[in-house]
């Protein structure tokens, strides 16, 4: 059984073990695979694991031995599901491995924006506190979260975890979701944007949600509001957000995802005012990656046993 991992570096840059996977067959592991290399490297493989390497119809059509694709992530838009259904190729994903890691990152971003500990620490290291005539100093107003309104768009496992943490901070939680919610006020997106001091996006990327945060909807938000996106970059029209930040239409944005990753140097958000950007790492704690590895290997094992789980294309 030939197993090929096309881009294993993000999951395992060297601090995890592939031994569980290697026990299941003959395994070839590549840190990264370009589009031009994909067919050659995957040739003869019955099982392929991929994270961001695209497996579309033109590639899958050249892999006659392929029986299984394991996506090393929750999202699976890197695989052409139509051709896999036609060919009877099983496609699986790894759901819910990073829930608490992403929720933790949401609040790391929020606290960095409202309390600016990194900026203050840098100032202290540069001698500003030593030279200060008072016992303390700050440049930006420091904000207490207790009593603020947090609007959560999308209420899956991560959205629910963010809500629970928000309540601990004393935030009043609003939710916008198509599902029935009993513990929180479920309101329209427009109402949520108007009422919230913090808006956190946790919805999937679909034709309906693509570009949902645009100039019109940013204009509905409070001038003091913060937008947080740890979900999918294309939920936001980036030029509209950059314009809103630069014009003071909203107070700030904290983003872990962008529409193109890595971003081009001309991405308007890279130079926008009051915009904190991290490089898509909310999912990547060691604990989360250990869970991802364990589930991914288990997915392969269950497929080989004839009882596939976490299947997304059947």
Q: Which of 105, 217, 232, 291 is catalytic?
A: 232
> Cα separations (Å) of 74 from 3, 91, 118, 131, 246?
20, 12, 31, 50, 34
Considering Cα of 16, then 17, then 18, then 21, what sign does the dihedral take? negative
Q: CB of 106 within 8 A of CB of 150? A: no
CA neighbor of 262 nearest in space, from 233, 230, 227, 289 = 233
Is residue 261 among the annotated active site residues? Answer: yes
Q: Which of 41, 112, 167, 280 is catalytic?
A: 280
Mention every residue, 6+ apart, whose C-beta is less than 8 A from residue 92.
68, 69, 70, 71, 299, 303, 308, 309, 310, 311, 312
d(Cα 14, Cα 22) in Å, to the nearest integer?
A: 15
d(Cα 21, Cα 298) in Å, to the nearest integer?
A: 9
Mention every residue, 6+ apart, whose C-beta is less than 8 A from residue 35.
53, 54
Neighbours of 86 (CB within 10 A): 11
d(Cα 312, Cα 314) in Å, to the nearest integer?
A: 6
Is residue 273 among the annotated active site residues? Answer: no
Strand order in the sheet with 198-201: 185-186, 172-176, 149-153, 198-201, 226-229, 252-255, 275-277
Q: Which of 26, 122, 208, 261 is catalytic?
A: 261
Catalogue the active-site residues.
232, 261, 280
């Amino acid at each position: 059984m030939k197993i090929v991992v096309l881009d294993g570096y993000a999951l395992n840059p060297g601090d995890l073990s592939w031994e569980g996977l290697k026990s299941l067959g003959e395994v070839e592991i590549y840190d990264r695979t370009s589009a031009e290399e994909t067919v050659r490297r995957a040739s003869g493989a019955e099982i392929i694991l991929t994270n961001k390497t695209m497996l579309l119809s033109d590639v899958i059509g050249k892999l006659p031995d392929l029986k299984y694709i394991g996506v090393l992530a929750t999202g699976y838009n890197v695989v052409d599901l139509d051709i896999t259904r036609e060919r009877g190729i099983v496609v699986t994903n790894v759901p819910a491995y990073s829930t608490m890691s992403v929720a933790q990152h949401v609040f790391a971003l929020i606290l960095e924006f409202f309390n600016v500990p990194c900026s203050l620490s840098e100032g202290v290291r540069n001698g500003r506190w030593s030279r200060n005539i008072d016992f303390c100093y700050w440049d930006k107003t420091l904000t207490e979260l207790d009593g603020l309104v947090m609007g959560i768009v999308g209420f899956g496992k991560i959205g629910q975890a963010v809500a629970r943490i928000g309540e601990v901070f004393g935030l009043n939680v609003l939710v916008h979701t198509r599902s029935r919610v009993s513990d929180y006020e479920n309101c329209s997106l427009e109402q949520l944007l108007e009422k919230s001091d913090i808006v956190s996006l946790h919805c999937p990327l679909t034709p309906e949600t693509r570009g949902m945060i645009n100039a019109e909807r940013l204009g509905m938000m409070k001038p003091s509001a913060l937008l947080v996106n740890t979900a999918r970059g294309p939920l936001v029209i980036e030029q509209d957000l950059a314009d809103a930040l630069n014009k003071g239409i909203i107070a700030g944005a904290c983003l872990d995802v962008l529409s193109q990753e890595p971003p081009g140097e001309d991405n308007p958000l890279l130079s926008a005012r009051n915009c904190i950007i991290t490089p898509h790492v909310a999912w990547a704690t060691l604990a989360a990656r250990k869970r991802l590895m364990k589930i991914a290997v288990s997915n392969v094992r269950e497929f080989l046993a004839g009882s596939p789980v976490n299947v997304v294309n059947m």
